Amino acid sequence: MSKDFIIAGIDIGTSNTRTVIAQQIKGEENPRVIGVGVVPSVGIRRGVITNVDDIAKTVIEAVESAERMAGFPIKSAIFNIGGCDIEFANSKGVIAIGRADGEVSDDDINRVIAESQMIQLPMNKEIVHVIAKKYRLDDQDNIKDPSGMKGVRLEVDALVIESSSAQVKNIGKAAFQAGVEINDLVLEPLAAAVSVLTKKQKELGVVMINIGGGTTSLAVYEEGELLHTAILPLGGGHVTNDIAIGLRTSVEVAEQIKLEYGSAMAGDIDKKDGIDLSLIDSREEGVVSRHHVAEIIEARLEEIFSLVQKELKLIGKAGLLPAGGVLVGGGAKMTHINELAKDVLGLPIQVGFPVGFGGILDKVDDPSFATASGLVLWAGQHQLEEKREGMKPFNPFAGKTDGMVDVVKNVFKRFLP
Ligand SMILES: Nc1ncnc2c1ncn2[C@@H]1O[C@H](COP(=O)(O)OP(=O)(O)OP(=O)(O)O)[C@@H](O)[C@H]1O
Ligand SMILES: [Mg+2]
């Protein structure tokens, strides 16, 4: 890092919107957290923005809260992009090496990846990421990083991740209304993985599972590379709704029951244990079985993990990831969730906490901060500093990590409403 700079991440979630402001100090490895804000989200369903004005207000509140803690305003941030309408396409790029001596330069790598983006996009889709999976240089295949090698023809196999244009536009409009410029958009599971997975876990084989309010997203890594990612349309909100329906209570009471008395393993709860509803809300009456509540929670979470298992089967990795599963998101805080996940997935499971920070660490030391923290770390890794006077324009190909390169995009133009 050449100088100190400020980086900010804004995670617009179905249940909560979180802002993390951090300072990257020259000579220090980890950014210092200096401001954190979290507010309940309005105007978003299953990760998809449904009301731009409401989500803009939510973003303003979350940003202002973090700014108050940091002691100064931010002008720009990295945002997450979630929602269940993410699509994937495999693509190829081919170029001739530019230098006369045939040595592969960063420019060649950028060009071949840019080539791989020249695909027929489905209607109303936009490219969010292009991930280089492997390169081929003349006859040599399966190259992870061709820079410095010599050849004539460079090819890349890439994974293109697309989101709906409406979602991209709506994030842009909300950010514009909130007065925060967008430095970049990062797919939620990729951001969350940055803050909780170690290099070793990614090398061995691991699945990061982010259980949010309206979605569950996952990212699978092996040999240091992203193998698969998906966003499923179920989350902790569905667990709460099931409890509300099952007990005939309001959603608010159901949420409180879940948080205070919930468990993902019904077998561990004494069948005689009761919950006095009047203690939660004076308008409610009667006693409900804690065991029954746990049964409802277990059933829905089991469904969520079964869907994750289906994704792992799809790529031939079910039960075959030595570093197991790492659970994050607010939903990962459910009591005994790791035991349930272990039973369904047949993998060792742990709950993940963001790592790689200094400063007021305790504010982000929570599985539900995985995405917001990951956005900040991503910004640091890609040198996407918060925009200040005289800052150099953002080079989307600077500082690539894990074979991942962000798409060229005219951020400023595209995000103007
Ligand atoms: N201690 C807890 N035990 C169980 N569930 C919890 C706990 N704390 C929060 N949750 C659940 O976590 C969910 C919210 O998680 P999170 O804040 O990560 O979601 P989000 O990022 O807003 O949503 P998404 O990622 O789906 O867009 C809610 O369903 C909430 O009930
Ligand atoms: Mg989330």
Confidence (pLDDT) at 122:
84
Q: What is the pLDDT of residue 398?
A: 34
How close is the Cα of 170 to the center of ligand 2, in Å? 17
Q: What residue's CA is closest to ligand 1, atom 21?
A: 13
Q: So what's the pLDDT on residue 5?
A: 86
Whole-angstrom distance, CA of residue 288 vs CA of residue 294 = 11
Q: Whose CA is nearest to atom 8 of ligand 1?
A: 330
Q: State the pLDDT confidence band at 26, using cuts at 50, 70 and 90.
A: confident
Q: Quick check: CB of 189 below 6 Å from ligand 1?
A: no
Whether 237 is in the pocket of ligand 1, judged by its Cβ within 6 Å, is yes
Yes or no: say if 105 and 98 are a contact pair by the CB < 8 Å rule. Answer: yes
Task: Work out the mean pLDDT of the chain and round it to a whole number.
Answer: 90
pLDDT over 90 at 384, yes or no:
no
- Give per-residue pLDDT as tens, 333-363: 999 999 999 999 999 999 999 999 888 888 8
Which ligand ends up closest to the CA of 301? 1
Pocket of ligand 1 contains residue 39 by CB under 6 Å = no
Indicate the pTM of the whole model: 0.91
Of all residues in the chain, what percent carry a pLDDT higher than 90? 76
pLDDT digits (tens, 9 = 90+) for 55-78: 999 999 999 999 999 999 999 999
How many angstroms from the chain centroid is the CA of residue 404? 15
Q: Work out the average pLDDT over 130-153.
A: 93
Mean pLDDT of 35-58: 96
Interval between CA 149 and ligand 2 midpoint (Å): 40
Which atom of ligand 1 is closest in space to residue 41's alpha carbon?
Answer: 22
For ligand 1, the distance from its centroid to the CA atom of residue 200, given in whole angstroms, is: 27
pLDDT given at position 386: 59
How many residues belong to the chain?
417
Instruction: Determine the distance separating the centroid of ligand 1 and the alpha carbon of 172, expressed in angstroms.
Output: 24
Whether residue 3 has pLDDT greater than 70: no
The pLDDT, as a whole number, for residue 62 is: 98
Residue nearest (by alpha carbon) to ligand 1 atom 15: 330
Is 374 close to ligand 1, i.e. is its CB under 6 Å away? Answer: no
What CA–CA distance (Å, rounded) separates 322 from 315?
Answer: 15
Residue that the structure tokens 């005994």 belong to: 336
Among 14, 15, 190, the mutation site with the greatest number of ligand 1 atoms within 8 A of its Cβ is: 15
* pLDDT of 412 over the 60 cut: no
Cα of 48 vs centre of ligand 2, distance in Å, is: 11
Task: Pick the range with the lowest mean pLDDT from 73-87, 228-242, 283-297, 384-398.
Answer: 384-398
Distance 299 CA to ligand 1 centre (A): 17
Q: How far is the CA of 355 from the centre of ligand 1 (A)?
A: 19
Give 306: exposed, middle or buried? Use CB within 10 Å, 0-12, 13-18, 19+: exposed
Pocket lining: 235 vs ligand 1, CB cutoff 6 Å? yes
Kindly state the average pLDDT of the residues 388-397: 36
Q: What is the pLDDT of residue 385?
A: 58
Is any ligand 1 atom within 6 A of the Cβ of residue 205? no
Domains belonging to the chain, first-starting first, are 5-82+167-187+354-414 (3.30.420.40), 87-164 (3.30.1490.110), 216-351 (3.30.420.40)
What pLDDT does residue 395 have? Answer: 34
Q: How far is the CA of 212 from the centre of ligand 1 (A)?
A: 5
Give the tens place of pLDDT for each residue, 228-263.
999 999 999 999 999 999 999 999 999 999 999 999
- Residue 363, amino acid: K
In this structure, which ligand is nearest to the CA of 47? Answer: 1
